[in-house]
Amino acid sequence: MLLAKSTILSRPQVRPAASRPRSVVVRASGQPAVDLTKKVQDAVKDAEEACAKGTSQDCAVAWDTVEELSAAVSHKKDAVKADVTLSDPLEKFCQDAPDADECRVYED
């Protein structure tokens, strides 16, 4: 026969509001908008300079950066095309207000 011990949980100590340390909560509202095409242009300039002045390894690394940024631009465009709510403002509106007249769907 097993006997279970009763466990007494203590309550956390609550300090009055005046003696509590103040804290500030900071929340990010999202990532800042990044102009990837500008970054690609800057990376191309940097790569051209690296190839003119640096070693072949520096040149290769710089062009790899250009390739990665170009791929990010392409993926971002594909994501916008794939997400109907980003490419069609009416779809976004209908998600927020499905009962609106503009969002009615009629079937024959």
Per residue in 12-56, pLDDT (tens digit) is 555 555 554 555 544 545 555 568 889 999 999 999 999 998 888
Question: In this structure, is residue 88 part of a structural domain?
Answer: yes
Residue 21 forms part of a structural domain: no
Instruction: Say yes or no to pLDDT of 75 above 80.
Output: yes
Print the SS3 string covering 52-67: HHCCHHHHHHHHHHHH
In a domain, 45, yes or no: yes
Q: How many domains does the chain contain in total? A: 1
Contact 55, 61 (CB under 8 A): no
pLDDT of residue 28: 47
**51-74 tens-digit pLDDT:** 998 888 999 999 999 999 999 998
Range of the domain at 86: 34-103
Q: Give mean pLDDT, residues 71-82.
A: 83
What is d(CA 101, CA 25) in angstroms, rounded to the nearest whole number? 41
The residue assigned the tokens 């109907």 is 84
